[in-house]
Amino acid sequence: MKILFDSVYVHNGGGKEILDLVINYICEHELESYFLFLLDRRYSVPSHIEKKLEFLKISSSEKGRKNFYKKNFFQFYFCFSNIPPPVNSVKNASIYFHNDLFLNPTKSNLGFITIIKNLIKKFYIISKTKKNYDWCVQTELMKKKLNNIYGIENKKIHVLPIFDSNKIISKKTNNSFVYVCNSSKHKNHKRLMDAFIEASVKFGGKLHLKLTLSKNDFKKSVYNITNAPSNLLIQNIGILSKKKLSSLYLESKFLIFPSLNESLGLPLIEAVNRGCFVIASDKKYVREVVNPSIFFNPYSSASISEAIIKSVSNKSIKKSELIIENKIDTFIKYLMSHV
């Protein structure tokens, strides 16, 4: 019998990055015969392994998932997209929970409509949860939240972070910042823009901020509708492939990360592994992943501005260090223990 690896709803962002790593690892170690991947139609299977992998694509809906589960039986069900199996007949399952926004939506710094949507998703997840299910998370902080908010027993939660561990160092462009993010409200763009304007006025020298927003989101963003000082260059690079994103980190001296909520904060890891100095929010999720060069208060544009000036003015700024450990080996062993 095979393991069902259910990743419906995953097709972009950090979730896709992890899914790509898992699929590549499984194929490189010739373990693909043990799995059937249930994929979101919007997800593109890496071309070099498409013929090796056994997979089925369906639309991103609970109705589609439920129909599939009713018609097929597996030895073990692994739900990668935060949501437990949609049918009650499943007894042996594990859920990889990697979205902090589904834990406490009312405190997620998002808009009203998004909060309501996430509340509905939260209660749906709770309604489908069984005491015998296992859960996997990326950090000890997420484990604590899952225990406190969802009531999952600690012994049923496994901390198994997955990320690309490759390190590349290169020469950086001075005073160059990058913020790898989407346009969600909790990414804190308004305060960041205000901070860069303030820092540009006080610092006087040139500052360069690069973003990875979609073209449409950038057009509507504060970066595009606000007049910036002449010494501040705001540049939107757009949504990038993994290879181009790596190049963006390599040419940028600083990653600035003012996000208010993250389950992991993958750009923090990627930036350290590409030799960037990390300037980040003084939040618990950051402390679980990296030891940044500079912390700031993400709720204060003045504090962010001060961190920007400090980073470009200090020639002996300390290097950022990775705290978290990649456990993809342990993760795959965990999956294979159910074969």
Average pLDDT per 10 consecutive residues for the chain, totaling 339 residues? 95 92 96 97 91 95 96 96 95 95 86 92 96 97 96 97 92 95 95 97 95 96 93 96 94 97 95 97 97 98 98 92 97 95
Q: State the pLDDT at residue 107.
A: 82
pLDDT at 263: 92
> How far apart are the C-alpha atoms of 6 and 314, rounded to whole Å?
48
pLDDT of 83: 97
Joined tokens for residue 263? 């389950």
pLDDT at residue 183, rounded to an integer: 94
pLDDT for the residue 1:
78
Helix or strand or coil: residue 76?
strand
- Whole-number pLDDT of residue 108: 77
Domains of the chain: 3-162+326-336 (3.40.50.2000), 173-322 (3.40.50.2000)
pLDDT at 78: 98
- Do residues 291 and 321 lie in contact, with contact meaning Cβ atoms separated by under 8 Å? yes
| Residue 124: per-residue pLDDT | 96
Which residues lie below 8 Å from residue 138, measured CB to CB, with a gap of 6+? 98, 159, 160, 161, 162, 263, 264, 324
- pLDDT at residue number 96: 98
Q: At what angle do helices 301-313 and 189-203 cross, to 10 degrees?
A: 50
Radius of gyration of the chain measured on its C-alpha atoms: 21
The residues near 129 (Cβ < 8 Å, ≥ 6 apart) are 84, 150, 152
What is the pLDDT at residue 316?
Answer: 87
Residue of 308, 303, 200 lying closest to 256 (CA atoms): 308
Residue 8: DSSP 8-state = T
Residue 60, token pair as written in the block: 């991103």
Per-residue confidence (pLDDT) for residue 45, from 0 to 100: 92
Cα–Cα distance for residue pair 151/48, rounded to 1 Å: 41
Query: Which residue type occupies 313?
Result: S
Strands (E), 114-250: 134-137, 157-159, 173-179, 207-211, 232-236
